[in-house]
Amino acid sequence: MPQIESWPRFPAAIRDHLIERMRDRNISLDDLNQLRVWLETKPIVPTGKWYKDFGSFKLCGDGKYPKTFLLVGQIATGEEL
């Protein structure tokens, strides 16, 4: 099973999409800090679709790349971490 890739190694299109979603969904600095702390643990993720629920938002990914943010109430697909 892969580890989440580090931010500088994300493809530009994925980085741009995540930044856009952070802004659209008003992800707070406190939430982003919680995400940063989790990412620093270099979590192992499934090779397919997955999501991590942080309470105020969900991070959804596929393999080693996070793909989008969802708000509370939005339904995520894949394996819950």
In a domain, 57, yes or no: yes
- The pLDDT value given to residue 7: 86
> Could you report how far apart the first and last alpha carbons of the chain are, in Å?
13
- What is the tens place of the pLDDT at every residue in 69-81? 999 899 999 999 9
* 2 within some domain: no
In a domain? residue 62: yes
Nearest CA-CA partner of 50 in 38, 37, 67, 72:
67
Check: CB of residue 25 under 8 Å from CB of residue 71.
Answer: yes
Residue 19, domain extent: 7-80
What one-letter code names the amino acid at 19?
A: I
Q: What is the pLDDT of residues 16-74, one digit of tens each?
A: 999 999 998 989 999 999 999 999 999 999 999 999 999 999 999 999 999 999 998 99
Inside any domain, residue 18: yes
Work out how many domains the chain is built from and give that number. 1
